Amino acid sequence: MKKYSIGIDLGGTKILIALVDKSSGEVIGVIKKKTKKEKGPTKIIKKLLEGIEELLDTFQINLNNISSIGIGAAGQIDRNNGIILGAPNLDCFDFKIKEILSEHFSIPIYLGNDLEVAAIGEQKFGAGKNSSDFVCIFVGTGVGSCIVKNGNIMYGNTGTAGEIGHMIVDLNGRPCTCGAHGCLEAYASRSAIETRIEGALKKGRSSCISEYLEEGKSITSGMIKKSIDRNDELVLQCVNEASEYLSGGIASIVNIINPELIILGGGLIDAVDYFYNETVKKARLKSLPIPAKTIKFHKAELGDYSGVIGAAFLEDRIL
Ligand SMILES: [Zn+2]
């Protein structure tokens, strides 16, 4: 077995490219590229090529020592052909990412969904280590999930199962990036909270989050945390609203799938304990009484790295 693999987490805000030790799961080094304002296939490929070369250069590793490149992408994918079919948060559609990267790197390349790789990472080395029956739900730019049942990832008929973010929670609700209306993601993601806060500020509401805002930059999970620590009324209101919706979505999952464990992760969960605690408390109250008694909740343990670690192990598909 070759010692290393490259794991890539391709998200709506950033790309993480990591060198991962295959025997221990340890992240040896990581390169971070922002995607927030620069999206679309051409820009993403450029960042990936630069990032991978930078990683190999920085750690003086030859491609001969790398077993594979695994990518977890935020969107619907064709695993067999390595195509990102539709990723609105990346502005990529029918994007033949594997074919393009194969022209530059002569090692196997695997593509998975971002939550699929996070679940693989958490199952191998994190909060899902002792469970073969769990659902990973990550909240950041969007809301994604991966269902693991009897140790296997539930892919669904077209390989797109687990899109909890597009569970419709309001028939006449807010527009979603997927084209539908009223999806959970439009209410419970960090982006949804950001839109609510910005809208209120424009209407003249005051909030201490204004002190952290920079022109042209978005509201981060860190800013949300700092504002909550200061008991900011507007931010608390927006976060509570998101938590109401997210807990409703989670309760639906608990009722439908009846898993042993829910693993919650992603930037917003990671940074804002208040959001995690409120969501867990409300989700238990909203679930049916029998599953509510036994359902366990756990924060993802690998933090920002669950995706890159899982992506590095996509080649094994051990789950
Ligand atoms: Zn949607």
Q: What is the distance in A from the centroid of ligand 1 to the CA of 248?
A: 16
Determine the Cα–Cα distance for residues 129 and 110; give it in Å rounded to an integer. Answer: 23
Average pLDDT over residues 114-142: 94
Determine the Cα–Cα distance for residues 69 and 64; give it in Å rounded to an integer. Answer: 12
- 178 pLDDT more than 90: no
Name the β-bridge partners of 113. Answer: 73
Sequence ranges of the chain with CATH classification 3.30.420.40? 4-121+305-312, 129-300
Question: Residue 252: its pLDDT value, please?
Answer: 97
Average pLDDT over residues 76-84: 93
- 156 pLDDT more than 50: yes
The chain-wide mean pLDDT, for the chain, equals 94
Q: What is the distance in A from the centroid of ligand 1 to the CA of 181?
A: 7
Determine the Cα–Cα distance for residues 197 and 84; give it in Å rounded to an integer. Answer: 32
Q: What is the distance in A from the centroid of ligand 1 to the CA of 210?
A: 29
Q: What is the distance in A from the centroid of ligand 1 to the CA of 177?
A: 6
Q: What is the distance in A from the centroid of ligand 1 to the CA of 142?
A: 9
- 318 pLDDT more than 70: no
Question: Residue 248: its pLDDT value, please?
Answer: 97
Question: Residue 206: its pLDDT value, please?
Answer: 95
Question: Residue 159: its pLDDT value, please?
Answer: 86
Q: What is the distance in A from the centroid of ligand 1 to the CA of 10?
A: 19
If you search the block for the tokens 């530059």, which residue do you land on? 104
pLDDT digits (tens, 9 = 90+) for 281-308: 999 999 999 999 999 999 999 988 999 9
pLDDT digits (tens, 9 = 90+) for 232-267: 999 999 999 999 999 999 999 999 999 999 999 998
Report how far apart the first and last C-alpha atoms of the chain are (Å, whole number): 19
CATH number for region 129-300: 3.30.420.40
Report the percentage of the chain scoring pLDDT > 90.
86
Q: What is the distance in A from the centroid of ligand 1 to the CA of 189?
A: 12
If one counts every other C-beta atom within 10 angstroms of the C-beta of residue 106, the result is: 9
Q: What is the distance in A from the centroid of ligand 1 to the CA of 178?
A: 4
Question: Residue 306: its pLDDT value, please?
Answer: 93
- Give me the amino acid identity at 193: I
- 229 pLDDT more than 90: yes
Determine the Cα–Cα distance for residues 301 and 131; give it in Å rounded to an integer. Answer: 14
Q: What is the distance in A from the centroid of ligand 1 to the CA of 219?
A: 21
Determine the Cα–Cα distance for residues 144 and 171; give it in Å rounded to an integer. Answer: 20
Q: What is the distance in A from the centroid of ligand 1 to the CA of 26?
A: 34
List the structure tokens of 18. Answer: 């990591």
Determine the Cα–Cα distance for residues 152 and 313; give it in Å rounded to an integer. Answer: 15
Question: Residue 74: its pLDDT value, please?
Answer: 87
Q: What is the distance in A from the centroid of ligand 1 to the CA of 175?
A: 8
Question: Residue 319: its pLDDT value, please?
Answer: 45
3-state secondary structure of 224: helix
Q: What is the distance in A from the centroid of ligand 1 to the CA of 277?
A: 25
> In which element (H, E) is residue 14 found?
strand 14-21
Q: What is the distance in A from the centroid of ligand 1 to the CA of 303?
A: 25
- DSSP conformation letters of 126-177: STTTT-SSEEEEEESSSEEEEEEETTEE---TTS----GGG-BS-TT--B-T
pLDDT digits (tens, 9 = 90+) for 159-169: 889 999 999 99
Q: What is the distance in A from the centroid of ligand 1 to the CA of 182?
A: 7
Level-2 CATH architecture, domain 4-121+305-312:
2-Layer Sandwich (3.30)
Q: How confident is the model at residue 309 (pLDDT cuts 50, 70, 90)?
A: very high
Average pLDDT over residues 174-197: 95
pLDDT digits (tens, 9 = 90+) for 11-55: 888 899 999 999 999 999 999 998 877 788 999 999 999 999 999
Taking the complete model, does pTM exceed 0.75, yes or no? Answer: yes
Q: What is the distance in A from the centroid of ligand 1 to the CA of 163?
A: 9
Determine the Cα–Cα distance for residues 237 and 226; give it in Å rounded to an integer. Answer: 14
